[in-house]
Chain A
Amino acid sequence: MENAFGLIYTGDASMQLRELTFSRSVAAVPFGGRYRAIDFMLSDLVNTGIYNVGVIAQKNYHSLMDHLESGKEWDLHRKRDGLFVLPPFVTHDNTGAYRGTVDAIRSCLGYIRRSQQKYVVLMGSHTIYNTTYNEMLRAHIGSGADITIMYNREPDYDMNEQFDDLRLKLDEDGRVVDLALNPARPETELCSCDAFVMEKSLLEYLVEDAFAHARYDFMNDVLIPHVKDLNIRGWEYKGYVARLNSLNAFYRHNMALLDKAISRELFSHEHPIYTKIKDEFPARYVGEGSAVNSMIADGCIIEGRVENSILFRGVHVAPGAVVRNSIIMQASDIGEGSVLDHMILDKAVSVGARRTLSGHGSYPVILRKGSKV
């Protein structure tokens, strides 16, 4: 057990995720055949030994609540601590709509105060990786830092996908000397992984202080102005990081799972990723049905051909249908003889017989949840 609790902010959706986040928060975006983004944050915390987790819900949080339930799938259904979903609420000094991360954190100061752990791991919900925070916590305590930011190296970063892109400049000691949010020309390849460790008392102070000065954004209004007077340090994460900051990135990071090394890292045996169980029968290959270089979840029935694709739970590919380079979400149905290439099908999309749908590697086409073609 670590002397820390987790606080996950789920309101951080990039507009460039387009239809994916029309009806859900980025935390609830499906990823990797059977998961949602938040499964990684929750599993990382639980695998660290952190069993007190607050999830700040903002808008469109119905599908998130539906997914989390009591938290039992992550072993967070506890008498002491456990999972706390913190939806927005209206009080005399709170309108229920947050003006920014500071506002959102401030609205759950009650939860933060009641939490008995000394440290907090504050996280966003669009940055996916598989790690534990034990080492980072040790480093934070050992260095005497006020705030420790987890970062990784992002040399080839697509500026068109820029979202919450916090760049760090460090001195030789690992202390942050400059922070830049969404810079036009990044001067460093060190990029925040959206995870911050600090004492909870400092978080309480910073949030109250920013709010009192009508500042509402955690990065712009809290971190950046305090670079000089607080000891902010960086902690490098060397593993694979998937930032869901655009539809293209979403497509690319899902497809990256077809790379054995990457999928081994994100789904390591020691640190399993937990998710809601659906009790589907295993996937069935029937008749001439076949698949290559693909990731296919339980409940799928494959009667056609699948290549270089990710199929979520309960997808049906009818005889003669071909699915290539595509991401097909839960319970979608591809009709007989249809051909799909570079497509993203959101949940429960139904494609009739003999349709041809095609996007391009540089611009995958998405069909909204429940669409019928």
Chain B
Amino acid sequence: MPKKKIIAMLLAGGQGSRLGVLTKSMAKPAVPFGGKYRIIDFPLSNCVNSDIDTVGVLTQYEPLALNAYLGSGQPWDLDRMNGGVFVLPPYVSGSQGQWYSGTANAIYQNIPFIDQYEPEYVLILSGDHIYKMDYAKMLDFHIEKKADATIAVLTVPMEEASRFGIMNTDDEGRIVEFEEKPPVPKSNKASMGIYIFNWKILRPYLVADEADERSSHDFGKNIIPNLIGAGARLFAYNFSGYWKDVGTLKSLWEANMDLLGSKPEFRIADKEWRIYSKSPAMPPHYLSMDSNVKNSVVSEGCVVYGEVKNSVLFTGVHVDKGAKIIDSIVMPNAVIGEGATVTRAIIGEGAVVKAGAFVGAEKRPEDGEYDTKLTGDITLVANTVTVPEGKRVPVGMIVQ
């Protein structure tokens, strides 16, 4: 098989449990985002736009939606004769077989896949983030610094730094210490979970880590500290631009809201850096005579008879007469019935909000106590669930 300079390994096995019922039947990278995309479209499109044509996608949790979505890789131009996109689930070999027990273990189990291409470099990505990034520039930096490993970092506000994995660097940008969620951070350079390794260097570390019974087989906790401890050359690559971890319902909602307005926080419509996705073959959207759509993103296949403000409608959404959707995201093929109201909510794929229902209504004493740990002030209707006619769903509740 022809050699590759660089291949990417995309960790897509995460359950994304903080996304609650949204990830009940699909892995987090398959969660819809931005009207017509799914989270995994961003790292995949970044790869293709950075001239990386071989991507292993490591799946484990609820892989069906993701497998079906990726198909041959054609929407991302990753249906290649040499390379392309590969779904890599855990497998049984001989009498042995095990689930991916950590990020490093997942890569370890796929050493034979990587070895086929004899790559000089391996790019490790996660399928949890929304961003546009040119990995080719990061690779140039890696080569220029003669690094053994390069970690992309984002400067975060100092007061938030203790939520992240923090890289402490010297003047040259070389990483001298890595601290996972330090209570008193020394720096505000947060790891984005994007690594480039020289494969020759990473490979023995993966093998050694696998043999270490005390290890949790994690890049952040084990591999990176081990490399630093051994005096390897690790560099921090500064990324500036939009980057959002959409791991919580609130951040998923916010990241969608970041697409609105004349100067959106995050501009996906970029001819130089297109984000590719699988097209559902639907006609352009239709707004009726009585509709009232303001400051919103509306995708193909939508039919709107009601009012939509500050919201993102995904493909194939139907909004009936007199319905109101405000500050919300409505995922593919959901139906909002006549006179229904949806405010500050996430409506899952294929969900139905029946006529006169109110999702995101003000909380009343009779609503009783319910857990809002995951939701905060966002109300969530799970995929394919029906909210009955006239039903009040108070703020922060999850309908499943």
Q: Which residues of A contact B (CB under 8 A)?
A: 32-34, 72, 257-258, 260, 263, 266-267, 272-275, 277, 279-299, 301, 303, 310-312
Contacts and interface: CB of A to CB of B under 8 A. Distances in A.
B295 A258 contact: no
B262 A293 contact: no
A312 B279 CA distance: 16
Interface in B288-323: 288-300, 303, 313
B300 A287 contact: no
Interface string B242-259: 000000000000000001
B158 interface: no
B283 interface: yes
B127 interface: no
B287 A297 contact: no
Contacts of A283: 284-285, 297-299
B217 interface: no
Contacts of A274: 281
A260 B283 CA distance: 12
A296 B287 contact: yes
A257 B299 CA distance: 17
15 contacts: A267-B283, A279-B277, A281-B34, A281-B268, A282-B36, A282-B299, A283-B298, A284-B260, A284-B269, A289-B294, A290-B292, A295-B283, A296-B298, A303-B262, A312-B284
A332 to B, nearest CB: 15
A299 B295 contact: no
A297 B281 CA distance: 12
B73 interface: no
A298 B292 CA distance: 18
A293 B287 CA distance: 5
Most chain A CB within a 10 A radius of its CB, from B36, B276, B279, B290: B279
B141 interface: no
SS class of chain A's interface: helix, strand, loop or mixed? Answer: loop
Contacts of A312: 284
A267 B292 contact: no
Interface of B: 34-36, 74-75, 259-262, 268-269, 274-277, 279, 281-300, 303, 313
A298 B295 contact: no
A72 B269 contact: no
Contacts of A288: 294
B261 A286 contact: yes
B297 A298 contact: no
A279 B300 CA distance: 12
A292 B291 contact: yes
Contact of B283 (A263, A286, A294): A263
A33 B295 CA distance: 21
A272 B289 CA distance: 25
Given A279-B276, A282-B35, A72 B74 contact: yes
Contact of A296 (B260, B268, B284): B284
A263 B284 CA distance: 10
A267 B260 CA distance: 29
A289 B283 CA distance: 21
Contacts of A297: 284-285, 300
Nearest to A275: B281
Given A282-B36, A282-B300, A284-B259, 17 more contacts: A72-B74, A263-B283, A277-B279, A279-B274, A279-B276, A282-B35, A282-B298, A284-B260, A284-B269, A285-B297, A287-B295, A290-B293, A290-B294, A293-B287, A293-B288, A294-B286, A310-B284
B298 A33 contact: no
Given A282-B35, A290-B293, A272 B282 contact: yes
A5 B286 CA distance: 35
A272 B279 CA distance: 12
Contacts of A285: 293-298
B373 to A, nearest CB: 32
A272 B300 CA distance: 13
Given A72-B74, A281-B35, A267 B282 contact: yes
Contacts of B259: 284
A273 B281 contact: yes
A312 B260 CA distance: 21
Contacts of B262: 286-287, 303
A202 B284 CA distance: 41
Contact of B288 (A277, A279, A292, A303): A292
A266 B259 CA distance: 31
Most chain B CB within a 10 A radius of its CB, from A274, A286, A287: A286
B286 A258 contact: yes
B185 to A, nearest CB: 36
A35 B274 CA distance: 21
A347 to B, nearest CB: 16
Contact of B287 (A33, A275, A291): A291
Closest 7 CB pairs of A and B: A33-B284, A282-B35, A281-B269, A297-B284, A282-B299, A267-B283, A272-B281
A224 B290 CA distance: 51
A67 to B, nearest CB: 15
Contacts of A282: 34-36, 297-300, 313
Given A258-B286, A286-B261, A299 B294 contact: no
Nearest to A283: B298
B279 to A, nearest CB: 5
A339 to B, nearest CB: 20
Nearest to A303: B262
Contacts of A32: 283-284
Contacts of A33: 283-284
A166 B265 CA distance: 57
B294 A293 contact: no
Contacts of A301: 269
A280 B299 CA distance: 10
A281 B298 CA distance: 10
Nearest to B45: A279
Contacts of B294: 285, 288-290
Given A279-B275, A285-B293, A292-B291, A298 B283 contact: no
Contacts of A267: 282-283
A258 to B, nearest CB: 7
Contacts of A260: 286, 303
B298 A295 contact: no
A298 B284 contact: yes
A277 B278 CA distance: 9
A52 to B, nearest CB: 21
A293 B283 contact: no
Nearest to A308: B289
A280 B283 CA distance: 14
Nearest to A298: B300
Contact of B36 (A257, A272, A298): A298
A292 B291 CA distance: 6
Nearest to B314: A282
A72 B279 CA distance: 13
Nearest to B288: A293
Contacts of B36: 281-282, 298
Most chain B CB within a 10 A radius of its CB, from A33, A281, A298: A281
